[in-house]
Amino acid sequence: MTYTDFDFSGVRCSADIRYAIELVSSADAGVTWSSPVTVHEECFFASGFNSVQGSNPVVAQDGTLYVGYEFYPGSVPNNEIHLARSTDHGQTFGAPVKVSNVWPNGNFGLLQGSFRNNEFPQVAVDRSSGSSQGTVYVAWSDGINNIVQDLPILFGAYAYPDVMVAKSVDGGQTFTAPTAVSPQSPTFTGRGRDQFFPGLAVDRRGYVGLCYYDRRQEPVNTAIDRYCSFSQDHGASWQEQRVSHAGWTPAHAADGVINLSYIGDYDALTSDFLLQHSGFFGAFEVQTDGNPDVVTASQD
């Protein structure tokens, strides 16, 4: 299990704030847990306002542990997607690899409708019997390809995000250039549409599944739907389908006890970990009745 430690104690970072991705593990089915192991840490002020957040761990067939997360460099406007690797079951980690730069979604993290979004990566490894390389896939949402001047101009620019994917065939040491799994159609009539919160998995056939929220159904970028893209050729091409039956308009800020901009921070997709069955299983949010509900979907 990985998580972000927001440490204001000043112990590990003297008179500073510590942002760290940490890992704990259990060898007895969760009865007891190890002491935390640091994957990546930043002392906020001393590092020039760097921070990290949004980790996602996955284990490959040979036991290699990969942890993806988002790195926030304080010196530049773009963020970075990082991947750290451990070959000793999470006891130590090598230096992280930068998978890609990533541009903050929407208006620096707020999507239309004023709800918070992030670019936290999802990681999946091909564990299929026909995979000799154990391809590592990383997916995230990125606004770099469609930055539009906002209206009115005083509000700056809005970055309509695409869901991007990159892969590595050498154990996470190098990655391909990221590509959009469902780029904006040339026939789309609006200024742009948001894609966000991807979930990623690989099944026993080596097929890649990638599901996400999508606002393509309305030119004004309001209603949200759920789409899934699938690749049978290791990410070279994708076929997509709409999973939700009706779009919904986000209804957040209804509970003053929590952050009023929260609609969620991430989503997930999974396949049969024991590799007994093909296909994918996912859950996602809908608000067609005015309240957040969670529904499930599967694909064979």
Q: 3-state class of 177 per DSSP?
A: coil
162 plus 298 within the same structural domain: yes
| DSSP conformation letters of 246-268 | S-B-------TTS-TT-S-S--E
Q: What is the pLDDT of residues 46-60, one digit of tens each?
A: 999 999 999 999 999
Give the tens place of pLDDT for each residue, 130-179. Answer: 555 689 999 999 999 999 987 666 678 999 999 999 999 999 999 999 99
Mean pLDDT of 214-230: 95
Query: Same domain for 43 and 124?
Result: no
Of 71, 102, 133, which one is at a domain's C-terminal end? 102
pLDDT in tens, 86-136: 999 999 999 999 999 999 999 888 999 889 999 999 999 999 865 556 899
Average pLDDT over residues 74-94: 95
Last residue of a domain, one of 56, 78, 102: 102
Q: Please indicate, yes or no, whether residues 117 and 17 belong to a single structural domain of this protein.
A: no
Last residue within a domain, chosen from 102, 130, 165: 102
281 and 237 share one domain: yes
Burial of 261 (0-12, 13-18, 19+ CB in 10 A): middle
The band of 251, judged by pLDDT with boundaries at 50, 70 and 90, is confident
Are residues 139 and 287 located together in one domain of the fold? Answer: yes
Query: What whole-number distance in Å separates Cα of residue 71 and Cα of residue 54?
Result: 9
Question: Are residues 97 and 121 both part of a single domain?
Answer: no
Instruction: Give the largest CA-CA distance in the chain.
Output: 57
Q: Are residues 60 and 109 in the same domain?
A: no
Q: Give the residue with greater pLDDT, 108 vs 236.
A: 236
Please name the amino acid found at residue 2.
T
**Sheet containing 195-202, strands listed edge to edge, beginning at the edge strand earlier in sequence:** 195-202, 208-214, 225-231, 239-242
Which structural domain, as residue segments, surrounds residue 8?
1-102
Residues 38 and 92 grouped into a single domain: yes
Residue with tokens 């992280």: 96
Residues 51 and 176 in one domain: no
The pLDDT value recorded for residue 261 is 87
For residues 288-296, average pLDDT: 84
pLDDT of residue 153: 66
- Mean pLDDT (whole number) for 232-249: 93
Number of domains the chain contains: 2
CATH number of domain containing 217:
2.120.10.10
- Non-local (6+) Cβ contacts of 7 within 8 A are 13, 17, 18, 19, 20
Note the pLDDT of residue 158.
Answer: 93
State whether 78 and 149 are in the same domain. no
Question: Same domain for 119 and 91?
Answer: no
pLDDT at 127: 92
The whole-number pLDDT of residue 152 equals 66
Model pLDDT, residue 266: 83
On whether both 181 and 63 belong to a single domain, the answer is no
